């Protein structure tokens, strides 16, 4: 094709749409003011907990220092807890608190609703296809 850059444009545009809509939908339920990043970190962590910080970093593809700050915020709001790792004294194992889990449920409800709107132009089979393609990347 030689126009691979077009995929980058489309991904950017899609991500922007998702972020803007998500921001609007999340605000009323984001009583702890985690912001979009804090919300997403919690959401991603919910899939992999209990998990060392490093694993969360990989999934989020942000840099370490940013994750440090976000984790600290989530801890201070009592949404996650950090336990020492028995294997590696340098790292911590993150888990959600009950409060964190409840919030993630709300976030996912809002997010799935939003994504259903965004994905409305394509069929359920195409959605599966899209998810599979993205997972491979």
Partner DNA sequence: TATTGTTATACTCTATAACTATA
Partner DNA sequence: TATAGTTATAGAGTATAACAATA
* Interacting residues with a copy of itself (CB under 8 A): 1-18, 20, 22, 40, 43-44, 47, 59-62, 108, 111-112, 114-116, 118-119, 121-122, 124, 126-131, 133-137
Surface-to-core class of residue 37, CB atoms within 10 Å of its CB (0-12 exposed, 13-18 middle, 19+ buried): middle
| Beta strand ranges found along the chain (DSSP E) | 51-52, 80-84, 92-96
Q: Does 50 bind DNA (CB under 7 A)?
A: no
CA distances from 14 to 9, 10, 77, 115, 118 (A): 9, 6, 30, 11, 9
Q: Which of 43, 91, 114, 118 binds DNA (CB under 7 A)?
A: 91
Q: Which does 24 bind (CB under 5 to 8 A by kind): a copy of itself, DNA, none?
A: DNA
Please, what is the minimum distance in Å from the beta carbon of residue 96 to a copy of itself? 16
Q: Which does 6 bind (CB under 5 to 8 A by kind): a copy of itself, DNA, none?
A: a copy of itself
User: What is the Cα–Cα distance from 113 to 116, expressed in whole angstroms?
Assistant: 5
Q: Is the CB of 11 or the CB of 76 nearer to a copy of itself? A: 11
């Amino acid at each position: 094709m030689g126009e691979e850059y077009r995929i980058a444009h489309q991904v950017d545009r899609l991500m922007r749409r998702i972020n803007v809509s998500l921001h609007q939908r999340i605000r009323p339920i984001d009583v702890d003011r985690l912001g979009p990043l804090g919300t997403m970190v919690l959401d991603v962590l919910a899939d992999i907990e209990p998990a060392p910080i490093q694993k969360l970093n990989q999934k989020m593809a942000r840099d370490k220092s940013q994750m440090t700050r976000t984790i600290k915020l989530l801890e201070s709001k009592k949404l996650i807890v950090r336990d020492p790792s028995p294997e590696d004294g340098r790292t911590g194992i993150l888990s959600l608190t009950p409060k964190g889990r409840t919030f993630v449920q709300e976030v996912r409800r809002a997010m799935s609703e939003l994504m259903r709107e965004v994905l409305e132009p394509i069929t359920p089979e195409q959605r599966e296809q899209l998810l599979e393609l993205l997972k491979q990347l």
